[in-house]
Chains A and B, each alone.
Chain A
């Protein structure tokens, strides 16, 4: 489907999914909350960009602008026994599972108040207490882990599902294929989600993958697959629910692919001048932005107004600003912290059984 066709189709598409019970039965408050979550992610990322430009954030920083409906829509379908794991573009997933902006921003700043005490950085957010298992920076490296999380759920007899996210570049890694084979072979309750933002760094999908849609690769493993428009919260929710239900009730994995887009470069180090046009970015921003589209739906449905949405934006910005202040004022870890959190045993001396030297000079 071309972008123009997608645009023309947009309204009927959104309507069809809004009538699905999982969306129809949402309360106004829940819907507004999705909007707020997406806006908070957007504002968090924008503030992070600003901080990066100020030199407050080091290394790589991959922003999620444009993709918000995927993380918010999919994670909105999680129940208490469900788990998620993702790649390095991981801020949104963290915020969506309920991590607070302060701990996330402080992690970007490398501060001890960060979610990983300043030891992980942008690409390594974790919140196992919220069933969020990271934040993994080697492309595709998290996919076998996702299969393992699903394996553990099944082993323990928990009726949970693992949502395992990846970018479109990850489907060409061996780890992807090995994990999909294992998940299909062992009937693991996992939903693999490709967030296809069209470019693996600067290489377009057409220049890197021999099969389109990417989700069709599931056929190689006799696995079900589906594709969806990733800028529609309603559609993302429905497709995710269908896949999760299969995983939950039959231990059947699915490969889901959501078509989405990122506004900024691959990371903050990407000047974004070589592989796509400004017009392409502008077209998505102006016509297909997930937050804008969902805002229009809320207004059409009569549960929000232009003004109330602007208020949400203002509040989200304020929250992001406060998180930057919190991060800025937080202390860095101490020198002694460098060798903490390496080994469980070293951090729990009362249970230590090993002797000898663990750290070397």
Chain B
């Protein structure tokens, strides 16, 4: 199997789906001539031409809405946000239009659109550019939200997203773009709502999504080596729909849970998951559910401090040792 980067995985998924369906096109800031602000769309303009790979003005509300209008008419736009932090100026289009039009039309209109791009902190760009808005968007019935952590998952899930008849929001991470993994050459699709156990274990469950999954794996290694704790790492992959079954099965197996999330804690994804666990697996718990999230303040710029603000292996290990 060839080893490809997360960036190449996303690129391949788009290219393959554009080959498959001429109604699929990509638009966003710098996606065409510039080959992508993070080079995720590299080569697509050359391959598919300017009709299907469109540079937009810096006008997120305009082009997000334009994409939704085109999707109402049956096209399958892939709209790239240079970062999800910029999606907030298009928030009304996504939250009101993409999410609600199917409902308000009594199911008459579908919105087969994908919004994607990186949404992460950890790169010292300050508060405005470091948002992880999966909790905001997953709050809206009508939207689907996915946060793949690995190249394999990114490719398989984005292909599913592009074929999906509902609006799908894929949140990537600039720090993950260079990560490599073996990915099959033959076509595969990964369904939404299916978590992946990235490491099996018996003593403690980590539940995470996006880059936090990799941080959890590091923390699991430390816990194994230094504390002989065997951790299970559940990668949600998909936030909405959510794989409750895998979460609950793991909790029932280990009886101890830490939810790790690069988002801020209040009203974050972890809050809903903690609620689900207490409701459906209360009797299996041997310790309170712990959460490790970003420190609850706007994202700090200062380099060493941002590393502390986001969940790191050390903070996760610390939380783990308090409940084992």
Contacts and interface: CB of A to CB of B under 8 A. Distances in A.
A133 B111 CA distance: 12
B61 A178 contact: yes
B62 A178 contact: yes
B241 A355 contact: yes
Contact of A356 (B71, B160, B194): B194
A343 B109 CA distance: 10
A179 B92 CA distance: 14
Contacts of A354: 144, 191-193, 238, 241
Interface stretch (B99-107, B220-228, B259-267, B285-293): B99-107
A345 B69 contact: no
B298 interface: no
B66 A179 contact: yes
B61 A174 contact: yes
Given A182-B63, A355-B241, A135 B166 contact: no
A120 B104 contact: yes
Interface string B45-62: 000000100101101011
A341 B141 CA distance: 10
B67 interface: yes
A140 to B, nearest CB: 9
A85 B164 CA distance: 25
A181 B60 CA distance: 12
A146 B107 contact: no
A4 B189 CA distance: 68
B142 A342 contact: yes
B212 interface: no
B73 interface: yes
Contacts of B106: 114-120, 126, 341
A148 B62 CA distance: 9
Contacts of B43: none
Contact of A341 (B23, B107, B164, B193): B107
Interface in A142-164: 143-153, 155-156
Contacts of B164: 345, 353
A175 B160 CA distance: 30
B73 A153 contact: yes
B59 A181 contact: yes
B243 A145 contact: no
Of listed B93, B106, B192, B193, residue having the most chain A CB within 10 A: B106
A216 to B, nearest CB: 20
B241 A356 contact: yes
A185 interface: yes
Contacts of B109: 126, 128, 133-134
Contacts of A147: 62, 65-66, 69
SS of A interface (majority): mixed
A178 B59 contact: yes
A149 B67 CA distance: 9
B102 A342 contact: yes
A312 to B, nearest CB: 31
Interface in B233-285: 238, 240-245, 272
Contact of A353 (B57, B62, B75, B191): B191
A355 B62 contact: no
A255 to B, nearest CB: 15
Contacts of A141: 65, 92-93, 96-97
B243 A355 contact: yes
Contacts of B107: 117, 340-341, 344, 347
A359 interface: yes
Nearest to B69: A148
A134 B105 contact: yes
B36 interface: no
A62 interface: no
Given A116-B104, A145-B97, A344 B165 contact: yes
Contact of A152 (B73, B105, B272): B73
Interface string A334-348: 000001111111011
B62 A175 contact: yes
A181 B62 contact: yes
B126 interface: no
B241 A144 contact: no
B238 A128 contact: no
B245 A356 contact: yes
B70 to A, nearest CB: 4
A118 to B, nearest CB: 8
Given A152-B73, A356-B241, A357-B244, A124 B193 contact: no
A117 B103 CA distance: 9
A211 interface: no
Cβ-closest 7 pairs across A and B: A148-B69, A144-B65, A356-B193, A178-B62, A341-B107, A152-B73, A145-B69
24 contacts: A118-B106, A120-B106, A124-B104, A124-B105, A126-B104, A133-B69, A144-B62, A145-B65, A145-B66, A145-B72, A148-B66, A149-B70, A152-B73, A153-B73, A155-B70, A178-B59, A182-B63, A341-B105, A342-B142, A343-B144, A353-B160, A354-B192, A355-B193, A360-B242
Given A128-B108, A149-B70, 6 more contacts: A114-B106, A116-B105, A126-B101, A128-B105, A354-B241, A355-B193
Interface of B: 23, 25, 51, 54, 56-57, 59, 61-75, 89, 92-93, 96-97, 101-110, 141-142, 144, 160, 164-166, 189, 191-195, 238, 240-245, 272
